[in-house]
Structure 1
Amino acid sequence: MIVRRGRSEDLPWLIEHDDASEAWISRCVQHGEYFVAEKDGELVGFLRFSRFWGKIPYMDMIRVLPSRQHDGVGTALFHAWETAMIDEGAEHLMTSSEWAEAEPQAWHRRNGFKAAGSIDLRIIQPSPEIFFVKDISGTRKE
């Protein structure tokens, strides 16, 4: 499996598989805010991130094709992103999931995230959003 930053040639696949708008996907690719996983020459997953408050790397979305789930694709995407953020000098990572989503929360915890609070967004989704933070300070390799 190859995990790399998303490129402009990945746009058609990303537009098909990400729920964000085409304009936002293009903007994120342009700013290096996608990692994609390739297996056997085909894209099988992506991780899209942004920066909370303009500085803390925040994993917006991680998605793996259903046929490739439980193959380590999501973990490989996460580790590539985490390593890149450590190399860029980040001290924390953030992510979130809906309160009712037990499986994603378990995945975040397995990957070192700790719950940091929640916000009630039921005006736009069925349950509150729980936020997770991972401390990566002191892990930068010199």
Structure 2
Amino acid sequence: MKIALATHLDYGYIQERDHHILQDLILQKISGNEIYILRDEDDNNIGFMRYGYFWDNTPFMNMIWIDEQYRRQGLGKQVILFWEEKMKEKGFQLVMTSTLANEEAQHFYRKIGYRDSGCLLLEDEPLEIILTKKIRS
């Protein structure tokens, strides 16, 4: 697997799969180098990871997507560790993400070192678990 910054050529692939962001913002995220694309050995897109900044100063992983046939092969973990290393290189000491309490992802994040740091409860929504990970000691 190869991990690279997404380009405008990846827009269609991301747009078809990411329904959690306004479509107009995808190109802004690509231009801002806030989306990593995962490619197989033949350079076919197989997933992506999108992030932003919580409080404008803490890297926050907003979305990770791996195409169905590539799931449960460790690719999600690889792209997260890759992203964490890039954030460390930029001088950050902490990264964040979140997941719904009724999703299995919370267990995945805990296995790779993320810790529960709080929650958010919005009306008519499941509990959102906020997770953080120190990437520098």
- Band of TM-score, shorter chain: over 0.9
> How many pairs align?
135
Partner residue in 2 for 1:4: 4
Taking every aligned residue pair, what percent have the same amino acid on both sides? 27
Partner residue in 1 for 2:100: 98
CA RMSD of aligned residues (A): 1.0
- Equivalents in 2 of 1:121, 1:65: separation in Å? 29
Partner residue in 2 for 1:70: 72
TM-score for the superposition, normalised by structure 2: 0.94
Equivalent position SS for 2:119:
strand
Partner residue in 1 for 2:39: 38
- Equivalents in 1 of 2:27, 2:77: separation in Å? 24
- The offset of 1:122, in angstroms, is 3.4
Alignment of 1:1-142 (within 5 A): 1-19=1-19, 20-39=21-40, 40-101=42-103, 103-123=104-124, 125=125, 127-138=126-137
- The offset of 1:21, in angstroms, is 2.2
**Structure 1 gap segments, 5+ residues each:** none
Matched-pair contact (CA < 8 Å) for 1:6–1:36: yes
- The offset of 1:111, in angstroms, is 1.2
TM-score for the superposition, normalised by structure 1: 0.91
- Equivalents in 2 of 1:83, 1:137: separation in Å? 10
